[in-house]
Chain A
């Protein structure tokens, strides 16, 4: 349990904790905020909101499809619903409800999923979610965000109130290392370069941004300058920063805790193919199901560690520049 071995001596904070703390703060001044959950309110932390605002919390039981429809109805009468459960049940089980009831109607419902990716760990592939970016970004009107740390999550939730249309935010079960300052000013649709470098650019989201930063530091000692971009908003994609990175470095790598099919890597490739094609290496969970295991062992097994990212970047660099 925990990401300790990849984040030694670092401050780790839960995205789900900050999500709900921020909601509780915002709800003081905004009586329209309501929260829904599907029997996972202790895991998603929305139970804390329920304690503060019992009248504005609705546990829908184990029925994700009804939760999405109910959230749509609440939005239609002027409420600002946040609906939370595990990523696979939110994006997977209720996909068509999200498509019709939320996206076609362009309703400002915020889906804040916890337990995304592989690091759900021991519960196994039934509960892992490595398909949600693909499922959500294909929907018109949807915005898709994977914050990389707790401070970015706070920014996302604050800014979400002024976002028009539905939003999908993927969080994690694990507490993640904190990189951004507490007062970070998040902006939808903007990638951020967190580390400069002109030999290769690593575009990542979620936990993989921190791991890519670690990889970039390893590569620096070998004289390879690896730029690292936090692409927390996957839809709409910041095409400008992607194309700029391709033009300036000529080599792109993408890293995500998601299948390499349909996720961040695919979105980056779609953009580059049409404007400035350069070699791209996609890192992710590949096209297969994972197994039960601790988060760290799974990340090892599926090659999503700082070391593996550095190795892949080094290989890509040597293939083309070596």
Chain B
């Protein structure tokens, strides 16, 4: 990847994290850790990879994204705002009845959201249906899905893992944001999902394992997926850090569904070189 492009994406990721933390503190509830871990994957897709028209959110020839780990909605919303699908000030009415941004993505309320998600386990099936339908229409649009590592404990994920391979959905690229933590603790303690890569390989997917915070590695993995012959669906297991970008949030189970208070937000902004955008909680 061109170093200039890479530093542009790094800067966009930083901007996204500043917005995520501000909007979550303002909202007073929401999922901090899992939003911060998925920022690079989303920034890569929204600013480098996906074919989109922010002025025409339902453009039929666009690429699709299903954020199956819907609780990372704040991260998605920052991308939609930064990319021009929604105005930025909407971000600060997250989770409020006078705002349009729901706690989890809602396609009928937020332009740019391709499918409502939030109840874990459902997004991959939806992405498979999209990939199947696009192929049937001879469209060259791509479908991306982002799953959590805790999320793959859901049985429906493995039903979809089977059907994607059975129907040879090579126009589908899925990521697992493997941040190793879920609400009740470490994934390996709550319900071990490892070896993740071997599981997906055995289900008939092309699997790559990367550092999910490294744009160059994300880029190489996508390029490799596209260059491959054959007709397998693609899985990119992205090893990530929950709460990435803020030292006292990184790797903390306690920040799964908890938002920073004002003091924590100020400290986080110091680390990220950002500023507190709105004083007070509401």
Contact = CB atoms under 8 A, between A and B. Distances in A.
Contacts of B108: 104-106
B125 A70 contact: yes
Contacts of B106: 104
Interface in A242-267: none
B24 interface: no
A70 B139 CA distance: 17
A96 B125 CA distance: 13
A100 B119 contact: yes
Interface of B: prevailing SS: helix
Interface in A265-318: none
A77 B116 contact: no
Interface in B133-160: 133-134, 136-137, 139, 155-156, 159-160
B114 interface: yes
Contact of B132 (A70, A97, A104, A105): A70
Contacts of B160: 66, 69-70
Given A56-B136, A77-B133, A104-B106, A66 B119 contact: no
B114 A61 contact: no
Contacts of A78: 60, 133, 137
Given A58-B167, A69-B129, A69-B160, A97 B122 contact: yes
A61 B137 CA distance: 23
A55 interface: yes
A76 B156 contact: no
A73 B155 contact: no
B25 to A, nearest CB: 28
19 contacts: A34-B133, A58-B132, A58-B167, A65-B155, A65-B159, A66-B125, A66-B159, A73-B66, A73-B115, A73-B126, A73-B131, A76-B114, A76-B129, A77-B64, A77-B133, A77-B139, A97-B122, A97-B156, A105-B108
A69 B133 contact: no
Interface string B104-136: 001110000011111101111111111111101
B162 interface: yes
B133 A79 contact: yes
B163 interface: yes
A72 B126 contact: yes
A101 interface: yes
Contact of B122 (A74, A75, A81, A101): A101
Contacts of B115: 72-73, 76, 101, 105
B191 to A, nearest CB: 19
A70 B163 contact: yes
Contact of B156 (A58, A69, A75, A104): A69
A244 B230 CA distance: 64
Interface string B59-102: 01000101000000000000000000000000000000000000
Q: Which 9 A-B residue pairings sit nearest by Cβ, starting from the closest?
A: A73-B129, A69-B125, A66-B159, A63-B159, A77-B133, A70-B129, A73-B130, A73-B126, A74-B133
Interface string A222-260: 000000000000000000000000000000000000000
Interface of A: prevailing SS: helix
Interface in B1-51: none
A73 B117 CA distance: 12
- Contact count band on B: 35 or more
Contacts of A101: 115-116, 122, 125-126
Contacts of A106: 108
Nearest to B70: A100
Nearest to B135: A77
Nearest to A36: B129
Contact of B162 (A63, A75, A77, A96): A63
Interface residues of A, number: 29
B136 A34 contact: yes
A76 B130 contact: yes
Given A66-B163, A78-B60, A73 B136 contact: no
Interface string A121-161: 00000000000000000000000000000000000000000
B156 A105 contact: no
Interface string A100-125: 11001110000000000000000000
Nearest to B102: A104
A77 B125 contact: no
A97 B134 CA distance: 22
B136 A71 contact: no
A63 B163 contact: yes
Given A72-B129, A101-B125, 10 more contacts: A34-B136, A55-B136, A58-B132, A66-B125, A69-B128, A73-B115, A73-B131, A77-B139, A101-B116, A105-B107
A58 B160 CA distance: 13
Nearest to B133: A77
B56 to A, nearest CB: 15
A68 interface: yes
Interface in A32-80: 34, 55-56, 58, 60-61, 63, 65-66, 68-79
Given A66-B156, A105-B115, A74 B129 contact: yes
A58 B131 CA distance: 13
Contact of B126 (A34, A56, A60, A76): A76
